[in-house]
Amino acid sequence: MLFPIQRAFIPVILLSSQVLQIEAVPHDGEDNSLLPAFTLVGQGNRDQGNCAGDDLELLKSAYEDACAMSRRAVEDLDFLVDQAKATAGKGPDKKSNKADYSNYRRILDTFIALFGTSPFDQQGNVDVGGPLFVPNDGSYHLKGFFETMVNEKCSGRDIDKRIFCTDNHWEFLKNDAQDPTDPSKTIQENLPQCQTYGGIWYSSVQPAGEQWLFAPPPSSPGKRPICDDRKLAVTHFSPGTITFCQLSLNPNVVLDTIKGFEGSIKPTNTRYGMTDKALDKMRLGDLIKKKDLTSIEFLRDSLSLTFLHEMLHLLTDKPDQDAVDEDGNPIMDRDGKPELTYGWTRCRNLATHDTQLSWGNPDNVALFALAMYFRQWDWSRGYPQPVKKAD
């Protein structure tokens, strides 16, 4: 199905240490520059929650893409703002400046599709309190998030954040189990609050005082407290970490990079370049096998977009918003719980019915950056169309 896998946001987690430095290309053709020094949690490989070998290489490539998307988003938003100011919001003249007019419409139409409104007032000034600026609430505004990525997080500054590769380092200890930190006593004797769940999660790679996690016990053998078979990644805002789940590190299911796909993008006049019936039969991993990319959805479940999505959680503390359908009604799962706003259709619905919530929803923001990355196409309808030309 189209929305089988998720990203997630949780406010608290526990940490350990080991330093990873990631390199990426800051601009086309320039030498690599050192990107932020993330702290790896754990040792060894993903069985201990550590990012090493192929997993580490995947993350390096994905972070390069996240920075490239952010950089192009900044460039295009700067162009949009400059043109609006110069023309009192009318945009470049169709006849005398056809190329700039077409570029202006490409950016603005996609912006409106994902954020529900123009960022400008009637005089062409940036609307204070609109999607480009959110004053006085302590958060990054939309343009500010991309600028922070480009100027700080993608320019060699240490952001003092941490990453896990899977949550396999956690194990559930029952109440009567021996306390690994105090073998003379049981878990229940040292941590009576764990009676709520009949035990507690423990990680041997965490420093003293941060080795415990209160969460329900595993629902089946092998289950862990953070990831499941639908989650790509989970962010914990305080003190600041991203856990990349096993699903996001599986190249048979998720694209490991968006580089090199320009030649595979094909224009189409239908929503996904296929019938709804055919789309309904799509299964996990089927999208990345398509040779012709006829929807932004086919690139949505990439590790690159996931990294950028999680960085917005990490830097702004913004959650994934509850999803609504095309009529604005809540979308619920089989258990009656709200589903979240992932993917173009749900992001567009959110922008239409809960406009202000769309401004900080991570997938709306990340999909805008993705559309700006593939700037040779107009993505304002969620599928690639030739950039509109002035008549």
φ and ψ of 24, to 5 deg = -155, 165
For the chain, how many residues are written?
391
Is the CB of residue 60 less than 8 Å from the CB of residue 25?
Answer: no
Instruction: For residues 314 and 358, give the distance between their C-alpha atoms in angstroms, rounded to a whole number.
Output: 17
Reading the block at residue 376, the tokens are 């040779």
281 in any annotated domain: no
295 in any annotated domain: yes
| Full pLDDT tens readout for the chain, 391 residues | 333 456 665 544 343 334 444 444 444 434 333 344 477 766 678 888 888 888 988 888 888 899 999 999 999 999 999 999 899 888 999 999 999 999 999 999 999 999 999 999 888 888 877 888 755 555 567 888 999 888 888 876 666 678 889 999 899 999 999 999 999 999 999 998 888 899 999 988 766 666 888 899 998 888 999 998 889 999 988 767 899 999 999 888 888 888 878 778 888 776 554 554 454 455 545 555 555 566 777 777 789 999 999 999 998 889 999 999 999 999 999 999 999 999 999 999 999 999 999 999 999 999 999 999 999 999 999 888 888 776 6
Burial 279-290 (b: 16+ CB within 10 A, else e): beebebbebbeb
For residues 117 and 195, membership in a common domain is answered with: no
- Ramachandran quadrant class, 226 (left: phi over 0; alpha: psi -120 to 50; beta: rest): alpha
For residues 115 and 176, membership in a common domain is answered with: no
277 in any annotated domain: no
Instruction: For residues 380 and 80, give the distance between their C-alpha atoms in angstroms, rounded to a whole number.
Output: 15
For residues 161 and 193, membership in a common domain is answered with: no
For residues 237 and 118, membership in a common domain is answered with: yes
Neighbours of 147 (CB within 10 A): 18
Neighbours of 381 (CB within 10 A): 17
For residues 315 and 329, membership in a common domain is answered with: yes
The confidence score (pLDDT) of residue 14 equals: 41
1 in any annotated domain: no
- Dihedral (Cα; 291, 61, 304, 386), 10-degree rounding: -50
50 in any annotated domain: yes
For residues 248 and 122, membership in a common domain is answered with: yes
Instruction: For residues 124 and 381, give the distance between their C-alpha atoms in angstroms, rounded to a whole number.
Output: 24
For residues 308 and 183, membership in a common domain is answered with: no
By three-state DSSP, how is residue 62 classified? helix
The confidence score (pLDDT) of residue 285 equals: 53
The confidence score (pLDDT) of residue 119 equals: 92
The CA-atom distances, in angstroms, between 360 and each of 71, 312, 317 are: 18, 8, 9
For residues 86 and 121, membership in a common domain is answered with: yes
For residues 158 and 186, membership in a common domain is answered with: no
Count: domains in the chain: 2
Is the CB of residue 60 less than 8 Å from the CB of residue 24?
Answer: yes
pLDDT tens, position by position, 298-346: 777 789 999 999 999 998 889 999 999 999 999 999 999 999 999 999 9
285 in any annotated domain: no
Q: What's the predicted TM-score (pTM) here?
A: 0.86
Task: Quickly tell me which residue has 């969620």 as its tokens.
Answer: 382
Question: Please, how many CA atoms are within 13 Å of residue 65, restricted to the half-sphere of its CB?
Answer: 28
Q: Running DSSP on this structure, what letter comes out for residue 18?
A: -
Range of the domain at 190: 170-213
CATH number, domain of 36, equals: 3.40.390.10
For residues 51 and 119, membership in a common domain is answered with: yes
Is the CB of residue 331 less than 8 Å from the CB of residue 346?
Answer: yes
For residues 28 and 113, membership in a common domain is answered with: yes
221 in any annotated domain: no
